[in-house]
Structure 1
Amino acid sequence: MQRTLSVGVRDGLHARPAAQLVRLAKSFTSAVVLERGGATADAKSPLKLMLLGVKEADEVTLRTTGDDAAAALEQIAAFLGGAEAGIAPAPAAAPVIAASVAPTLAETGRRGVPASDGVAVGPVHVHAHPGLPEPLGRIAPEAAPAEVERFHTALADTLASVSARAGTLPGADLQPIVEALADVAGDPEWARLVEERIAGGADAVAAVLLAGTDVAGRFEAMDDAYARARAEDIRSVSRAVVGTLLGWTATSLAEVPAGAIVVADEVTALDLSGAPLERIAGFLCRCGAATSHAAIVARSHGIPAVFGWDEPLERLATAKVVALDGTTGEVHLDPDAATIADFQARIRARQASVAALAPYRTISPRTRDGRAVTVAANIGSLRDIDPALEAGAEGVGLFRTELVFMETAELPSEDQQTAIYREVIERFRPRPVTIRTLDIGGDKPIPAIAFAPEDNPFLGWRGVRMCLDRPDVFLPQIRALLRAAAAGPLRVMVPMVSDIDEVHAVKALIDTCRADLAARGVAHGRFDLGIMVETPAAALLAPALAREVAFFSIGTNDLTQYVMAADRTNRQVARLCRPDHPAVIEAVRLVCVAAAVAGIPVAVCGEAAARAEMVPILVGLGVDELSMSAPAILRVKKQVTEIWAVPPEARP
């Protein structure tokens, strides 16, 4: 079976979505092959997928062969169409410039590749990896089996080390990156390439280096900057395995002094996984790109970075102080007093801008006419809690529980879910947490649930429809939510509601679960039940639904695509997928009016909640809560305090 489609995955199949797609493909017994531009790749190999160089909006052909080919085709096609929930795209603010095409000093004076905004001045901290052995080692043919075994032992040790490191990372950005690198290192295709070179007479160290250089070169030859930057991942994996083979102590950034500028040939995700990021003032690297994992992490942590600086590391290592501007790419080695003063003035200006938002961290914002508007966080995992709290989130407006289900090959148990939900509630207590019940369907596949083929999964068996048909999936989640509710204030909302009978059915199941827990003496609590308003049916039935639930939460992403009958992953109709379209605004207005009559609050948890032009519109319509990703929270809090919720003609 086969299907041709346009890829909707943000930034294409780079390391993280490739790893997620591989896990999905491996959940089927069928063979899964992806074709792009005449080249094909086994979808169960992350390395082959990455080398295919699939970009967002590329046209690809998906082929499946085997007993479960139809289900595999539907679910993987849905993933490729953009249903890879929870994969964070690279921030769009930074220019996409690869180090391999970076302008040189002779062409531009004193500028490199701007990779992460910000200004820094500080002492140099050189981060250098050990030199690789030269010449490369050779072995006799009879030594090849032992050398292959030596390689596999080192690879297993490296994988164990990388996986252990991934499990202890504090940041939501680094953990999935390092996990994806572990998947690449464990790819049988990678092992095959190394084994081929051992068979050709190279020892294990030489074979790893040769295979790594070959694969990195293939990435660097691609026409897409994001794909070229994946050469960094391959070099990082190769270096880690070589280090294990040679018994090196891994080079670490753990001892970097506070306020230092890290100077290096290249900084990788593995390097950063052991780094105290709060102590690093900036990065200056000879290699790397604005699309590299190091750049992505630097931006998410507010660390200025300049890459593609065309001077030997030996020259950079002689500098005592570096001043750099990650917005413009400007760099000064051992700057004079006037330059230092200039950069310090720039730093103070940026700090003043950030400081202007800082007071809003503890403010519960009110509009200029006194109306309170809650600004909460959207989260998808426990890793998102700290950034949300640090940004001053007034609770959680959306916890996407589907990510809990997507991270394992089997359904998470009731106890596992209880522990996760309880931790979120306890961390935010006394602020309320809103958890969405499982929003999985044909457009958001998970390995543990089989979905029949659907011609249009966006209009198919998803959300509450699937949950009501699968009590074996839904009842453990409800019981887990009731048990977690004993830890603090909890609101639970049901997705994809289009009929009032669905609400009645959910209520009946909640009563059944509550009675079951009580009969067994299991501690539990109560939660407010609400619904996601994301179908036109729910918007039109809002007056009746408002009498049945404790709150509404508007999912503007789906509501927009359903109101406009325009697939939000289809670029040809993207102009119609606008939350500010009059038809969508009218649907939101109807929901807010119905909620006001019933005396229940309305939240918005779709992307529109963080859009500057939409905030005054939504608040003016009567929305009580805006929920968004952590980086937008302070800005939106400030904006709320600057707008009028009451229209001019109604003001006193």
Structure 2
Amino acid sequence: MSDAKVKSMLETAVVVRVSEGLHARPATQFAKLAKEFSCSLQVLHGSTSADAKSAVKLMLLGIREHDQIVLRADGADESDAVERMARFLSSPEAGVQSATAAQTADATACQADAAAPPVPLAAADTQDSPPPLTGVPASDGLAFGDAYVYLPEPLRAARQWIEPHEIDAEQARFKRAFDDALAALAKQFDALGDTDDIADALASVAQSDEFAGEIRARVQSGRDAVAATLEVGASLAASFEKIDDEYLRSRADDIHGMTRQIVLRLTGQQQMSLAGLTKPCIVLASDLTAPDLARANVAHIAALVCTRGSATSHLAIIARSHGIPAVFGLQVADDRLRGVRQVAVDGTAGHVWLEPPAALQAQFAPRIGAARAQRAALDVYRDVEPVTRAGRRIRIAANLGSPTEIDAARAVGAMGVGLFRTELLFMNRRSLPGEHEQADVYRRVAQAFAPHPVVIRTLDVGGDKPVPGIAFPHEDNPFLGWRGVRMCIDRPDVFKPQLRALLRAATVGNVHAMLPMIADLDEVRRVKALIAECARELKNEGVAFGEPKLGIMIETPAAALTADLLAPEVDFFSIGTNDLTQYVMAADRANPHLASLYRSNHPAVLRAIGMVCEAAHRAGIEVAVCGEAASQPDMIAVLIGLGVDELSMSPACVLRAKKIVSEC
């Protein structure tokens, strides 16, 4: 009987592509999706597993981006469940309620970076001031002003146990307090705006069996509701604090905050609140949580300084989205904070001055005004097509992973798409995407940015990026193995449907096709022969098609060294600085011990880029950069100087790049 049941189960291995892993919001959305199916769903991560319908249990697995997990389903709708759950895990944007809102928040961070002074304030302007205290930079910006010390008294249970005849009344008392706390939470976050996903994540944790369910169970066994809430809150928070991942570890702060709000209602206590702030001030706190901030008028918070917390907490996310400078993890005793009257904060450097002298205020004031003006000034670049002072027009395009990012890229004025990654269409699903599905996606992206070019990279997968229908052999180093165009040429059953889809999509918009992992001229010629074969087939079938321009990624040393031979065969180059740097420097980009070698500004990498640009321009074709270096402020002028014609990056950094290019 048991053997038959095991055989009926459906299992699939999935590489998690959710940005930063299954933290609170994506875990909440994942669990919500799982509950739509009647079958049982388990997530296996290493030697541990969890019910996919429990957001808390999922978070406690500590699943990070790029981790491999196993989805196990058992039930009538197991096939549909696994397909949809795997598709969710394949999207970097999964769990973000609004991709546009998320990108806007990221754009705020990029804008703050652009506005930050080139030399840290603490180093450049404060030699005559007392040394600052140093914490974790959580949200960029400068602030100087009056302090509001927020140090609520600790909560305690007046009694531990109740009599059996009190249990029903105690359960009802807990329910009222719990429901009231959740309702207040929703109302408070609604007032903040663009935080629905955070509120939903907190509510999901609060309503889970591991929190509310366990509290009810303890009350049913005779525990006082206050005691039970404090115990369960402390225990669950401690479980999160043990997780290696910083983002998940910071969820302990959310649990502490929910625990406190429920206990306050159970005891009828009136505690300190940020709701009473009537003028701008800098909040000093030890254990401030997202619900605490939700009750405040954020317009009256000039900055946040906390002795606990991290840059990945929900508090930090809200601070960044509202442009509130913040420093967390400040190593200072509560007693020292209690009497503070004024504070100066450099959120970019993580510096805090308690009771700063007047001279420091004089240094802060002009910097604060300049940063505010620079942030506002970036908005004017939305519709600008930047031109350098020497008269060179540089295209600033966006890197996209799925159509869900289209709106975010258009909102910041991206001049087309410099890299559309097609891997997400193929990964973590039961079967390969068909030609029609691919053509529809490519058309949608092309139409959204017409007449600007949309560069669609053909399938770039290998043994480290498993897809169904392709059996990758075991390789000691899959990054140097059967991957990218090498695999595609060997698998025309996979490659030709994609090429046909690209040809069909080229009837609308300005579609360009780009080949990854090129190392040899023969690879380009073999792909061109396949494209010609696909075109003949479509013509014979009476299917409309266009002729997309064909380009290649320059990411192998071989391609860089033979760029003069490759250029006459293609319409454009795009330099993938991430892999090019890795291969030129023989330094694994994921290895922190090699950070000093993995540098795109290393002379060897810069010489390779210069060679590629010279070869391209001699052949009359353009060169783009679509790696991380394209958005780095200190690299933009260097790349333009080497001859790069286009920079493609995350939509969040497009405005900043336009400004920098216009000033080069």
Q: Is the shorter-chain TM-score for this pair beyond 0.5, marking a shared fold?
A: yes
Aligned counterpart, 1:571: 592
CA distance in 2, matches of 1:413, 1:237: 47
Aligned counterpart, 1:598: 619
**Structure 1 residues 260 and 30, CA gap change in structure 2 (3 angstroms):** closer
Task: Say whether the 8 Å CA contact 1:479–1:514 is kept in structure 2.
Answer: no
Task: Say whether the 8 Å CA contact 1:395–1:428 is kept in structure 2.
Answer: yes
- Encode CA deviations 1:436-490: one digit per residue, 9 max, x unaligned: 23333322346x566545222212343334555274687268537834862x333
Matched, 1:482 2:482: no
- Cα distance, 1:603 vs structure 2: 0.5
Aligned counterpart, 1:650: none
Aligned counterpart, 1:71: none
Matched, 1:609 2:630: yes
CA distance in 2, matches of 1:525, 1:356: 41
CA distance in 1, matches of 2:132, 2:634: 39
- Encode CA deviations 1:127-155: one digit per residue, 9 max, x unaligned: 999x999779989999999x99xx99x99
Matches within 5 A, 1:136-285: 197=218, 200-201=221-222, 210-220=231-241, 228-235=249-256
CA distance in 1, matches of 2:485, 2:504: 18
- Encode CA deviations 1:347-406: one digit per residue, 9 max, x unaligned: 322224445655554443334433222222223345645554454433322233334556
Task: Say whether the 8 Å CA contact 2:426–2:433 is kept in structure 1.
Answer: yes
Task: Say whether the 8 Å CA contact 1:497–1:503 is kept in structure 2.
Answer: no
**Structure 1 residues 608 and 289, CA gap change in structure 2 (3 angstroms):** closer
**Structure 1 residues 142 and 624, CA gap change in structure 2 (3 angstroms):** farther
Aligned counterpart, 2:474: 454
> Which of 118, 139, 151 in structure 1 is aligned with 2:141?
118
> Which of 33, 46, 49 in structure 2 is aligned with 1:34?
46
Aligned counterpart, 1:396: 417
**Structure 1 residues 111 and 627, CA gap change in structure 2 (3 angstroms):** closer
Task: Say whether the 8 Å CA contact 1:531–1:549 is kept in structure 2.
Answer: yes
Residue identity opposite 2:484 in structure 1: G
Aligned counterpart, 1:434: 455
Matches within 5 A, 1:52-91: none
**Structure 1 residues 19 and 542, CA gap change in structure 2 (3 angstroms):** farther
CA distance in 2, matches of 1:324, 1:234: 27
Task: Say whether the 8 Å CA contact 2:18–2:92 is kept in structure 1.
Answer: no
The percentage of counterpart residues that share the same residue type is: 47
- Encode CA deviations 1:397-449: one digit per residue, 9 max, x unaligned: 22333345568777667776666555544554443332323333322346x56
CA distance in 2, matches of 1:338, 1:634: 34
Give secondary structure in 1 for the equivalent of 2:46. Answer: strand
**Structure 1 residues 310 and 382, CA gap change in structure 2 (3 angstroms):** farther
Task: Say whether the 8 Å CA contact 2:143–2:344 is kept in structure 1.
Answer: yes
Matches within 5 A, 1:299-338: 299=320, 302-305=323-326, 326=347, 328-329=351-352
Give secondary structure in 2 for the equivalent of 1:518. Answer: coil
Aligned counterpart, 1:102: none
Q: Runs of 5+ in structure 2 lacking a partner?
A: 1-15, 33-39, 73-89, 95-101, 117-129, 267-273
Task: Say whether the 8 Å CA contact 1:530–1:551 is kept in structure 2.
Answer: yes
Aligned counterpart, 1:69: none
Task: Say whether the 8 Å CA contact 2:396–2:647 is kept in structure 1.
Answer: yes
CA distance in 2, matches of 1:596, 1:212: 63
Task: Say whether the 8 Å CA contact 2:45–2:61 is kept in structure 1.
Answer: no
Q: Normalising by the residue count of structure 2, what TM-score does the alignment of the two structures yield?
A: 0.62
Residue identity opposite 2:314 in structure 1: H
Residue identity opposite 1:34 in structure 2: G
CA distance in 2, matches of 1:42, 1:119: 43
CA distance in 2, matches of 1:442, 1:278: 50
**Structure 1 residues 472 and 405, CA gap change in structure 2 (3 angstroms):** closer
Matches within 5 A, 1:87-102: none
Matches within 5 A, 1:618-633: 618-633=639-654
Aligned counterpart, 1:97: none
- Encode CA deviations 1:15-55: one digit per residue, 9 max, x unaligned: 579899999xxxx99984537xxxx7769787567557799
Q: Normalising by the residue count of structure 1, what TM-score does the alignment of the two structures yield?
A: 0.63
**Structure 1 residues 425 and 614, CA gap change in structure 2 (3 angstroms):** same
CA distance in 1, matches of 2:540, 2:145: 63
> Which of 587, 590, 610 in structure 1 is aligned with 2:608?
587
**Structure 1 residues 226 and 547, CA gap change in structure 2 (3 angstroms):** same
> Which of 511, 514, 529 in structure 2 is aligned with 1:504?
529
Q: Runs of 5+ in structure 1 lacking a partner?
A: 1-6, 67-82, 95-106, 246-252, 644-652
Matched, 1:491 2:512: yes
Give secondary structure in 2 for the equivalent of 1:378. Answer: strand
- Cα distance, 1:607 vs structure 2: 1.5
**Structure 1 residues 349 and 33, CA gap change in structure 2 (3 angstroms):** closer
CA distance in 1, matches of 2:531, 2:237: 52
Matched, 1:351 2:372: yes
**Structure 1 residues 490 and 540, CA gap change in structure 2 (3 angstroms):** same
Residue identity opposite 2:474 in structure 1: E
> Which of 453, 461, 485 in structure 2 is aligned with 1:464?
485
> Which of 524, 539, 548 in structure 1 is aligned with 2:560?
539
Matches within 5 A, 1:631-650: 631-641=652-662, 643=664
CA distance in 1, matches of 2:417, 2:636: 18
Q: CA RMSD in A?
A: 6.7
Task: Say whether the 8 Å CA contact 1:32–1:43 is kept in structure 2.
Answer: no
Aligned counterpart, 1:559: 580
CA distance in 2, matches of 1:540, 1:261: 56
Count of residue pairs the alignment pairs up = 590
- Cα distance, 1:625 vs structure 2: 0.9
Residue identity opposite 1:298 in structure 2: A
Larger deviation, residues 131-140 vs 526-535: 131-140
- Cα distance, 1:231 vs structure 2: 0.8
Task: Say whether the 8 Å CA contact 1:128–1:264 is kept in structure 2.
Answer: yes
- Encode CA deviations 1:242-275: one digit per residue, 9 max, x unaligned: 99x9xxxxxxx99x99999899997767899999
